[in-house]
Structure 1
Amino acid sequence: MFIIIFFIALWYLSLFSQTFLQHRYASHGAFEMNRFWERFFYIVAYITQGSSYMSPRAYAIMHRMHHAYTDTELDPHSPSYSKNVFAMMWRTSLFYRSIFHNKMAVEEKFTKNLPDWRSFDRFASSGYSRLLWVAAYALLFVFFASAWYLWILLPIVIAMGAVHGAIINWFAHKYGYVNFRLKNTSVNLLCTDVLMLGESYHNNHHKHPSSPNFGIRKYEIDPVYYAIKFLSWLRIVRIPRVAQAN
């Protein structure tokens, strides 16, 4: 039971960090925060994402490329150029690592207004750090996995961030419904998205990338938007008026 609770908690905490920090904040500037809170959420992302931590800067560049080049060969994660979801995950990984290690020429338009804490990113993304997290997860399973089948969850725990990304970038470009007719394959995967914290409203997001609220219709509930609104009320973040209008 402990492993199941741990898995569910990690699923949502890791997903929250990705959609809040790397996606809505770093990639799209859906809200603003000062340097203290930015670095605070860097640390939160590292703790919650562990071995699958992603540099907000590198993630943002890669994700901006996805929006600019959706469904083309330059798209870092398009189902149109991968045979299966695992091939797409590998292709995405190659793009990400090339950007992170400055081995890819990146257009200037993708590098504007990015959060940048490179010393922390180097530490959090190091092989040493990732191995420590993997070892910690494995020990947790050694002590608390009460049945053999629970070990099936360990690879997902280790690659949690990549799994979240793959679910949206593969399935939300293949199966679902649309609110907006766009020149790409993005769809809304779920009508009410509690499982992916609003991320599965992918068609809505491609229409309004900088909006902090991914939901459009009344039944499209985006839990993270309400978290952002609460943090705005606490004056931890600030939602620009243009973003609110979207």
Structure 2
Amino acid sequence: MDNFLTFLAGGLLQYSWWQIIIVTLVLTHITILGVTIFLHRSQTHRGLDLHPAVMHFFRFWLWLTTGMVTKEWVAIHRKHHAKCEREGDPHSPVIYGIGKVFFQGAELYRQEAANAETLKRYGHGTPDDWLEQHVYARHSVLGVFIMLGLDLAMFGVLGLTVWAVQMAWIPFWAAGVVNGIGHWWGYRNYATPDTSTNVIPWGLIIGGEELHNNHHAHGTSAKFSTKWWEFDVGWGYIRILSALHLATIRRVAPKIRLEPATAAVSIQTLDGVILHRYEILARYTDLVKKAASEELAKLKPLRAREEVNRRWASLKRVRRLISRADDSQLE
């Protein structure tokens, strides 16, 4: 009886509470890596190719910890890019509102996963072997219950808490934070034709997915950080896999290169403008905002004059439209 109670209290490992927290964070981190490296950067956007052993590890791990089907995830995300912020976008805060996407993002995912047309049109090129057909896709729920049994065996009754955290990790961080906050709040490096933002510049918790605006600007890039002060932990793991010959990097975001002005415009220049259009627009926007702010500073002491006041009001509207700045910043 004592042995049974001991097992219930701590499972096979008999870890302390802080050890269980560390293990839980490691397990959820591996799940995040499976989503960002395998599902997102490799399967969806083909930014890198993974060694079959690595690819199957992630498939198996995501089956255990999320129950997500590769084809469904890939199709839904590709549709998001194809119809971003427009009718048909599976999880846009612009369409559904930030509250619904943040708190019910997983439900929006399940609704779209049931759309056969979405899977047929956007789910091509994903694994379709015997395991996918007969295990991972057919019995997608089985994996998470196996994980529940493993957690209970390893940690005792606390394993139920570990399992609950694992099950909530992707719905919260990916469906809620990335799909919701990543289109609602943050900073933008690129003037993409959507509301995507970089939530924070250091992509640690969500494997680099925090840099969502960078990703929307360079969708097929295997690397999400583009500024020297940004950090993409997922890219770090990809570099390690590449060094071990377990991954082949296909694409990364090109870096803009400025050359001295010339009288003639070459084809190479036009290609560069098209390739870097989002960054060029962002830089131009910054220049306009700076010019507007400087002009407002000059006009501020002269606002008593009617003509100057009208110009002040016009510049304020321009500045507000460009930067979405609060009026108080201009007073």
Root mean square deviation, CA, Å? 2.5
1:119 aligns with 2:136: no
1:94 aligns with 2:107: no
What is the CA distance between 1:52 and its match in structure 2? 0.5
Please state whether the residue corresponding to 2:194 is helix, strand or coil: coil
Residues 72 and 119 in structure 2, CA contact (< 8 A), matched pair in contact too: no
Q: How does 1:58-137 map to 2 (within 5 A)?
A: 58-80=72-94, 81-82=96-97, 83-84=99-100, 85-96=102-113, 98=114, 103-106=116-119, 108=121, 110-112=122-124, 114-122=125-133, 123-125=135-137, 126=139, 127-137=141-151
What is the CA distance between 1:158 and its match in structure 2? 2.0
Q: 1:215 — aligned with what?
A: 225
Q: TM-score, normalised by structure 2?
A: 0.63
Q: Say which of 14, 17, 21 aligns to 2:31.
A: 14
Structure 2, unpaired ranges of 5+: 1-17, 256-331
Q: Say which of 219, 224, 227 aligns to 2:237.
A: 227
Residues 124 and 130 in structure 1, CA contact (< 8 A), matched pair in contact too: no
Structure 1, unpaired ranges of 5+: none
Q: 2:203 — aligned with what?
A: 193
Please state whether the residue corresponding to 1:32 is helix, strand or coil: strand
What is the CA distance between 1:219 and its match in structure 2? 1.2
Please state whether the residue corresponding to 2:186 is helix, strand or coil: coil
Q: 1:38 — aligned with what?
A: 52
Q: Percent identity?
A: 22
Q: Number of matched residues?
A: 231
Residues 188 and 200 in structure 1, CA contact (< 8 A), matched pair in contact too: yes
- What is the alpha-carbon distance in structure 1 between the residues aligned to residue 34 and residue 72 of structure 2? 15
Q: 1:163 — aligned with what?
A: 172
Q: TM-score, normalised by structure 1?
A: 0.82
Structure number, greater radius of gyration: 2
Residues 177 and 188 in structure 1, CA contact (< 8 A), matched pair in contact too: yes
Q: 2:3 — aligned with what?
A: none
What is the CA distance between 1:7 and its match in structure 2? 1.6
